[in-house]
């Protein structure tokens, strides 16, 4: 018997609805887009589509672990509660901290925040959302008096122009990008402008790409404000009736077109075109993301964008508005409950004594924190300095994702007491925990999340909790009770927490706070189970929720007017110099999520980009002696990494790009966080992850090798390694700085782990040519291959990996096996482009040539590539 459950994707802030057909076992889970969900109307991207492959139990943390040994829940919870209490008693409440995650459900977040800020009495609860969109939070607060996203996804279809700023939505918010693509197909007059130093996949359908110099966004938008003023494109009536501070903002934005072109490194005509379009369209949505937020002046950049919308009155109306795309599935929910260390709860914060007293009254606590705690980077510095002696990390991997990540690692290594609750057993962060608490995973959790457009959706459990894993809210409540807060944390189910959260949002609100879901204050268990996706506020005035905010021109500031902010643009704090002459930009890939703890489990998601890589311009490559597909070492003042070189002119000269995902679980030297500059925005405290001065040089190993193996290997790794889970095989990319004495022994040592089976070897060695190649058959089935080269390049992996799908190899295949190339007449698929249908670049190229295909739609009809999630369409178009 199967049943279908509606739930929400746990990856990005688009918040797509999912229809999950649940069978008898984990392996019978079928995932499809929920056609009724207003965020995606049935669409899913490659990551969401592959969710069914990520629910396996292998690698899960299923039992509490205490100092490396399996323990009971009682033992683990007692230890956490007693240790926290002991440290608080000895050093004070600020000696402990919680570091949460946009992966937590709102109910989990609420309880964690209430414990730390309401009852332990410290502001030391922060979250990885600090790394993602805290500059947007700060910018919203300054402009609107509240952390409000004014618009909704429907605005994409209603807009006349969409500006994507610092956002590769095609890869990072793929379903939103698909909505834009579809809107443009229906209405070709819809203009798309992409503002990004890189020419990303999002430029695929752009009418204009402005590849501005890194960090100069505020100059560009100050210039726009000035231009709008000079060309009578202001909405003076709106400015007069609904805003304050325009004159000062305009004065600060005293920059003309020539100056913008010089500072931003842009063509003057292109800037003029963008400014003209902005001035001559009424309905404009400015979508911005990490390229704006992750900056040492991110808050100013956000306000420079908002200023232009206030100046034209293009806010709070259909098809209009500044729109922050949140990175994580529940970054917005975290903001609602006060997950950032300067926030209290329900969009109240420590800047207001009234807020502090109000929340204390509601929680009935004498011990409420009265000042903000440490934001993320400062928090791990405080751990490093020994000021914070106990930390509880929930569902996140700061040893990989925080800037200056080696220091974070050291901080946790030396911390007196580290607790990690997670659903995955082996992460770079769990490796440093004294206590590991098994949390339920996506398919087991039950609660709510909020997406970028303020839409609250249910995440519903598909399966019972695995092993001894428990919901996060339960784990936190159990610790709270053991710390003496029995009554205040007596929750028995998530709906009880949701009701309390809803009640607090309406408590003494009277329209003074934007976040108000008081209509849910008495929601029944049954209604909670059936809760449909709804945009807040949901209160007496908006019983069905509300699509857009600020339609009436009223804001949550003291005067009720929106605030222009005078912006004096700052360039990034650390500029390239002779020692570190390049700018490092970091970001997400199409098919991976955060630190790969879940997406790397799905073999199909590892095919698009298998190895940590660095993108750089061919001119820079030549300057530093780097060739395509070789290895490069990248160094910053904070750390280093090694990555495979990819050459592209979509990268500006003088800057390089590396993806953010790889960890020490999957690569020896792939953690980009080790490189990243820990400087933060002075207002939002968000780190500058897009602009780190670095240098790059050739990493020249003595040999390079790859192994494809049907089984996961337990082997000693050489200097450089990457592990990739594939379909029916594991792939290891290896390189070493010293030669083994005997290749045969070396290879056999790595590959032999089976006993009592009939093993056959096929070998080829060319000592002079620097090759060793071997294949190993067990019971006549291909078990593994190893290719080693000291001088020449290794063959492509795609044909060899396809052989692991076969129960036995044909004679012809066996004969050419150690050439690494398919027999004559057999096509190699090439690097996988379409992860959904496993279609490779060579297959697409061949089809284009042989069938004369001209459009991505024709490729889709021919090969299905690009017809499911659509994320690969830009690459198909590039091949065309």
Closest approach of ligand SF4 to the CB of residue 47, in Å: 4
Please enumerate in sequence order all residues whose Cβ is within 8 A of that of 361, keeping only pairs 6 or more positions apart, or say none: none
User: Counting contacts by CB under 6 A, is residue 174 touching ligand SF4?
Assistant: yes
Nearer CB in complex with ligand SF4: 205/476: 205
Nearer CB in complex with ligand SF4: 47/771: 47
What is the dihedral sign for C-alpha 395, 400, 405, 406? Answer: positive
Closest approach of ligand SF4 to the CB of residue 305, in Å: 23
Q: Is 399 in a helix, a strand, or coil?
A: helix
**Two structure tokens written together for 37:** 């969900």
**Two structure tokens written together for 661:** 């995902």
Closest approach of ligand SF4 to the CB of residue 11, in Å: 3
Residue 417 and residue 390 in contact, taking contact as beta carbons nearer than 8 Å: yes
Closest approach of ligand SF4 to the CB of residue 39, in Å: 7
How far is Cα 438 from Cα 70, in angstroms, rounded to an integer?
11
Please enumerate in sequence order all residues whose Cβ is within 8 A of that of 438, keeping only pairs 6 or more positions apart, or say none: 60, 61, 62, 63, 64, 421, 422, 423, 467, 468, 469, 470
How far is Cα 863 from Cα 858, in angstroms, rounded to an integer?
9
Q: Which stretch binds ligand SF4 (CB under 6 A): 40-48, 126-134, 507-515, 554-562?
A: 40-48
Indicate which single residue of 11, 278, 730, 804 sits in contact with ligand SF4 (rule: CB under 6 A).
11
Residue 801 DSSP code: H
User: Counting contacts by CB under 6 A, is residue 389 touching ligand SF4?
Assistant: no
User: Counting contacts by CB under 6 A, is residue 12 touching ligand SF4?
Assistant: yes
User: Counting contacts by CB under 6 A, is residue 9 touching ligand SF4?
Assistant: yes
User: Counting contacts by CB under 6 A, is residue 589 touching ligand SF4?
Assistant: no
Task: Give the total of residues touching ligand SF4 (CB under 6 A).
Answer: 14
CB-count exposure of residue 755 (10 Å: 0-12, 13-18, 19+):
exposed
Nearer CB in complex with ligand SF4: 462/519: 462
Residue 813 and residue 823 in contact, taking contact as beta carbons nearer than 8 Å: yes
Indicate which single residue of 47, 209, 458, 561 sits in contact with ligand SF4 (rule: CB under 6 A).
47
User: Counting contacts by CB under 6 A, is residue 48 touching ligand SF4?
Assistant: yes
How far from each other are the two terminal CA atoms of the chain, in whole angstroms?
Answer: 45
**Two structure tokens written together for 182:** 């579809």
What ranges make up the beta strands (E) of 713-756?
A: 720-726, 729-736
User: Counting contacts by CB under 6 A, is residue 105 touching ligand SF4?
Assistant: no
Nearer CB in complex with ligand SF4: 9/694: 9
Closest approach of ligand SF4 to the CB of residue 829, in Å: 24
- What's CA 868's distance to the chain center, in Å? 22
Indicate which single residue of 44, 249, 255, 310 sits in contact with ligand SF4 (rule: CB under 6 A).
44
Nearer CB in complex with ligand SF4: 174/441: 174
Nearer CB in complex with ligand SF4: 599/677: 599
How far is Cα 690 from Cα 708, in angstroms, rounded to an integer?
35
Nearer CB in complex with ligand SF4: 497/589: 589
How far is Cα 357 from Cα 120, in angstroms, rounded to an integer?
16
Indicate which single residue of 16, 228, 266, 600 sits in contact with ligand SF4 (rule: CB under 6 A).
16
Nearer CB in complex with ligand SF4: 164/751: 164
Nearer CB in complex with ligand SF4: 47/140: 47
Q: Which stretch binds ligand SF4 (CB under 6 A): 8-16, 246-254, 726-734, 838-846?
A: 8-16
Indicate which single residue of 6, 7, 15, 308 sits in contact with ligand SF4 (rule: CB under 6 A).
15
Nearer CB in complex with ligand SF4: 9/853: 9
User: Counting contacts by CB under 6 A, is residue 476 touching ligand SF4?
Assistant: no
Q: Which of residues 487-546 bind ligand SF4 (CB under 6 A)?
A: none
Helix segments in 265-338, DSSP class H: 268-280, 290-293, 298-311, 331-337
Q: Measured at CB, which residue is nearest to ligand SF4?
A: 48
Element of type H or E holding 435 = strand 435-438
CB-count exposure of residue 67 (10 Å: 0-12, 13-18, 19+):
exposed
Closest approach of ligand SF4 to the CB of residue 173, in Å: 6
Element of type H or E holding 447 = strand 447-450
Rounded CA Rg of the chain: 27
Nearer CB in complex with ligand SF4: 17/123: 17
Q: Which stretch binds ligand SF4 (CB under 6 A): 167-175, 346-354, 505-513, 859-867?
A: 167-175
User: Counting contacts by CB under 6 A, is residue 233 touching ligand SF4?
Assistant: no
User: Counting contacts by CB under 6 A, is residue 175 touching ligand SF4?
Assistant: yes
Buried-exposed string 36-54: b where 16+ CB fall within 10 A, e elsewhere: ebbbbbebbbbbbbbbbbb
**Which of 822, 816, 765, 815 lies closest to 788 in space, CA to CA?**
765
User: Counting contacts by CB under 6 A, is residue 14 touching ligand SF4?
Assistant: yes
Indicate which single residue of 22, 45, 213, 234 sits in contact with ligand SF4 (rule: CB under 6 A).
45
Footprint on this chain of ligand SF4 (rule: CB under 6 A): 9, 11-12, 14-16, 40, 44-45, 47-48, 173-175
């Amino acid at each position: 018997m199967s049943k279908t459950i509606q739930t929400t994707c746990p990856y990005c802030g688009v918040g797509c609805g999912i229809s999950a057909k649940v069978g008898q076992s984990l392996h019978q889970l079928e995932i499809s887009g929920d056609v009724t969900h207003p965020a995606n109307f049935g669409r899913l991207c490659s990551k969401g589509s592959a969710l069914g492959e990520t629910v396996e139990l292998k690698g899960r943390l299923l039992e509490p672990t205490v100092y490396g040994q399996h323990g009971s829940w009682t033992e683990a919870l007692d230890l956490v509660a007693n240790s926290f209490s002991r440290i608080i008693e000895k050093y004070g409440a600020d000696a402990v901290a919680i570091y949460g995650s946009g992966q937590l459900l709102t109910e989990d977040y609420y309880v964690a925040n209430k414990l730390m800020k309401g009852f332990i009495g410290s502001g030391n609860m922060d979250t990885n959302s600090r790394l993602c969109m805290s500059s947007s939070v700060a910018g919203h607060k300054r402009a609107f008096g509240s952390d409000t996203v004014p618009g909704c996804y429907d605005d994409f279809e209603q807009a006349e122009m969409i500006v994507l700023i610092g956002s590769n939505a095609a890869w990072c918010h793929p379903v939103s990008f698909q909505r834009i693509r579809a809107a443009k197909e229906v209405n070709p007059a819809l203009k798309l402008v992409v503002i990004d130093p890189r020419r990303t996949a999002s430029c695929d359908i752009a009418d204009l790409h402005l590849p501005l110099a890194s960090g100069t966004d505020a100059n560009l938008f100050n210039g726009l404000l000035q231009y709008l003023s000079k060309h009578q494109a202001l909405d003076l009536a709106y400015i007069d009736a609904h805003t304050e501070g325009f004159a000062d903002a305009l004065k600060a934005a005293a920059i003309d077109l020539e100056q913008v072109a010089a500072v931003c490194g842009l063509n003057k005509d292109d800037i003029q075109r963008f400014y003209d379009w902005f001035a001559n369209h009424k309905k404009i949505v400015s979508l911005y993301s990490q390229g704006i937020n992750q900056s040492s002046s991110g808050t100013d950049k956000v306000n420079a964008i908002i200023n232009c919308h206030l100046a034209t009155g293009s806010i709070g109306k259909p098809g209009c508005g500044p729109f922050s795309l949140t990175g994580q599935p529940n970054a917005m929910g975290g903001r609602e409950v006060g997950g950032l260390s300067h926030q209290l709860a329900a969009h109240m914060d420590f800047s207001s004594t009234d807020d502090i007293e109000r929340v204390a009254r509601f929680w009935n606590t004498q011990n409420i924190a009265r000042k903000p705690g440490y934001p993320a980077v400062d928090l791990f510095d405080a751990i490093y300095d020994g000021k914070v002696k106990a930390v509880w990390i929930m569902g996140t991997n700061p040893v990989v994702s925080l800037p200056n990540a080696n220091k974070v690692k050291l901080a946790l290594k030396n911390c007196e007491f580290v607790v990690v609750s997670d659903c995955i057993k082996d992460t770079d962060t769990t490796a440093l925990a004294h206590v590991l608490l098994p949390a339920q995973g996506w398919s087991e959790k039950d609660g709510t999340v909020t997406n970028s457009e303020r839409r609250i959706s249910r995440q519903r459990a598909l399966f019972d909790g695995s092993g001894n894993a428990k919901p996060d809210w339960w784990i936190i409540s159990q610790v709270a009770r053991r710390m003496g807060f029995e009554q205040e944390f007596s929750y028995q189910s998530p709906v009880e927490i949701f009701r309390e959260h809803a009640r607090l949002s309406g408590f003494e609100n009277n329209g003074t706070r934007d976040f108000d879901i008081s209509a849910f204050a008495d929601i029944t268990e049954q209604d909670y189970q059936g809760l449909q996706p709804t945009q807040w506020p949901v209160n007496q005035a908006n019983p069905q929720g509300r699509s857009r905010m600020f339609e009436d021109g009223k804001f949550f500031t003291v005067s009720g007017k929106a605030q222009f902010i005078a912006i004096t643009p700052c360039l990034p704090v650390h500029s390239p110099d002779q020692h570190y002459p390049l700018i490092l930009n970091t970001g997400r890939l199409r098919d991976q999520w955060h630190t790969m703890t879940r997406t790397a489990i799905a073999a199909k998601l590892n095919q698009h980009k298998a190895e940590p890589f660095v993108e750089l311009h061919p001119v820079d490559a030549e300057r530093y002696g780097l060739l395509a597909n070789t290895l490069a070492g990248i160094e910053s003042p904070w750390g280093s990494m090694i990555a495979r070189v990819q050459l592209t002119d979509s990268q500006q000269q003088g800057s390089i790009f590396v993806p953010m995902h790889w960890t020490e679980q999957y690569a020896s030297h792939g953690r980009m966080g080790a490189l990243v500059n820990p400087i933060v925005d002075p207002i939002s405290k968000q780190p500058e992850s897009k602009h780190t001065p670095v240098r790059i040089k050739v990493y020249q190993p003595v040999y390079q090798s790859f192994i494809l193996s049907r089984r996961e290997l337990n082997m000693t790794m050489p200097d450089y390694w990457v592990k990739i889970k594939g379909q029916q095989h594991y792939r290891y990319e290896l390189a070493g700085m010293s030669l083994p004495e005997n290749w045969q022994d070396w290879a056999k040592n790595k590959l032999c782990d089976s006993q009592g089976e009939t093993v056959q070897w096929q070998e080829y060695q060319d000592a002079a040519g620097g090759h060793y190649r071997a294949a190993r058959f067990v019971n006549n089935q291909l078990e593994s291959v190893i290719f080693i080269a000291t001088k020449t390049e290794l063959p492509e992996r795609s044909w060899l990996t396809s052989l692991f799908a076969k129960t036995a190899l044909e004679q012809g295949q066996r004969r050419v096996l150690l050439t690494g190339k398919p027999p004559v007449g057999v096509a190699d698929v090439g690097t996988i482009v379409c992860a959904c249908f496993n279609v490779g670049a060579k297959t697409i190229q061949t089809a284009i040539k042989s069938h004369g295909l001209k459009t991505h739609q024709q490729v889709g009809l021919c090969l299905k590539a690009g017809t499911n999630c659509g994320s690969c369409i830009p690459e198909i178009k590039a091949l065309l």
